[in-house]
Amino acid sequence: MSTNYYYTNETIKIKSYQAIVVGSGISGGWAAKELCEKGIKTLVIERGRKVEHNKDYPTAQLAPWELKHRGPITTKFKKENPLITKSAGFGEDNAHFFIEDAVQPYIQEKPFDWIRGYQVGGKSIIWGRACQRWSDHEFSAPAKFNYGLDWPIRYKDVEAWYTHVEKFIGVCGNADGIEAMPDGHFMKPFDLTIVEEHIKEVIAKQFNRNLVHARWAHITEPQPIHLQQGRGQCQARNLCMRGCPFGGYFSSLSSTLPWAGNTGNLSILTDAVVHSVIYDESKQKAIGVKVIDAHSKVTYEYYADIIFMNASALNTNLILLNSTSKRFPNGLGNDSGVLGKYICHHNYRASVWGVVDGFEDSYVYGRNPTDSIIANYRNLGKQETDFKGGYTTFMGAYRQRLDETTTKETIGADFKDAMEIPGKWHVYAYMQGETIPKKENHVRLSKDQKDPYGLPLLITSVGYDDNDDKLTADFLTETKKMFEAAGVYEMGFVDNHQAPGLDIHEMGGCRMGKDPKDSILNEYNQMHLCKNVFVTDGACMTSTGNQSPSILYMALTARAVDYAVKQLHQSNSLM
pLDDT in tens, 121-153: 999 999 999 999 999 999 999 999 999 999 999
Question: Does the structure show a pLDDT above 60 at 14?
Answer: no
Residue 313 maps to a domain = yes
Q: Say how many CA atoms lie within 13 Å of 43 toward its Cβ.
A: 27
* H-assigned helices in 39-92: 75-80
Question: Does the structure show a pLDDT above 70 at 8?
Answer: no
Same domain, 458 and 403: no
pLDDT of residue 424: 93
> Which range has the worst mean pLDDT, 24-28, 49-53, 408-412, 474-478?
408-412
Same domain, 459 and 481: no
Secondary structure class of 36 (helix, strand, coil): helix
- CB 548, CB 348: distance < 8 Å: no
C-alpha pair distances (Å), 332 with each of 135, 276, 305, 420? 32, 9, 16, 63
Same domain, 168 and 255: yes
Same domain, 227 and 354: no
Same domain, 405 and 426: yes
pLDDT of residue 255: 98
Question: Does the structure show a pLDDT above 90 at 521?
Answer: yes
Task: State the pLDDT confidence band at 408, using cuts at 50, 70 and 90.
Answer: confident
Same domain, 475 and 335: no
Same domain, 391 and 270: no
**Measured between alpha carbons, how far is 505 from 130 in angstroms, rounded to an integer?**
12
- CB 216, CB 129: distance < 8 Å: yes
Same domain, 302 and 339: yes
Question: Does the structure show a pLDDT above 60 at 202?
Answer: yes
Q: What amino acid occupies position 10?
A: E
Give residue-wise pLDDT tens across range 270-320: 999 999 999 999 999 999 999 999 999 999 999 999 999 999 999 999 999
Question: Does the structure show a pLDDT above 60 at 169?
Answer: yes
Length of the chain: 575
The domain of 405 spans 177-213+348-433+464-499
Same domain, 328 and 353: no
C-alpha pair distances (Å), 321 with each of 159, 276, 444, 500? 32, 8, 8, 22
Secondary structure class of 545 (helix, strand, coil): coil
Same domain, 221 and 318: yes
Question: Does the structure show a pLDDT above 90 at 485?
Answer: yes
Give residue-wise pLDDT tens across range 52-66: 999 999 999 999 999
Residue 115 maps to a domain = yes
Sheet strands (E) in 462-538: 489-495, 507-509, 533-535
Secondary structure class of 33 (helix, strand, coil): helix
**Measured between alpha carbons, how far is 297 from 455 in angstroms, rounded to an integer?**
11
pLDDT of residue 44: 98
**Measured between alpha carbons, how far is 255 from 483 in angstroms, rounded to an integer?**
39
Question: Does the structure show a pLDDT above 80 at 10?
Answer: no
Question: Does the structure show a pLDDT above 70 at 186?
Answer: yes
Same domain, 319 and 379: no
Same domain, 23 and 161: yes
Closest CA to 372 of 382, 364, 362: 364
Find how far residue 285's CA is from the centre of its chain. Answer: 30
Question: Does the structure show a pLDDT above 60 at 421?
Answer: yes
Fill in the DSSP letter of residue 215. P
Closest CA to 62 of 242, 241, 187, 231: 242
> Which range has the worst mean pLDDT, 158-172, 437-451, 559-573?
559-573
% of the chain with per-residue pLDDT over 90: 89
Residue 1 maps to a domain = no
Q: Considering the entire predicted model, what is its pTM?
A: 0.96
453, 482, 499: which is the final residue of a domain? Answer: 499
Task: State the pLDDT confidence band at 479, using cuts at 50, 70 and 90.
Answer: very high
Question: Does the structure show a pLDDT above 60 at 3?
Answer: no
448, 477, 499: which is the final residue of a domain? Answer: 499
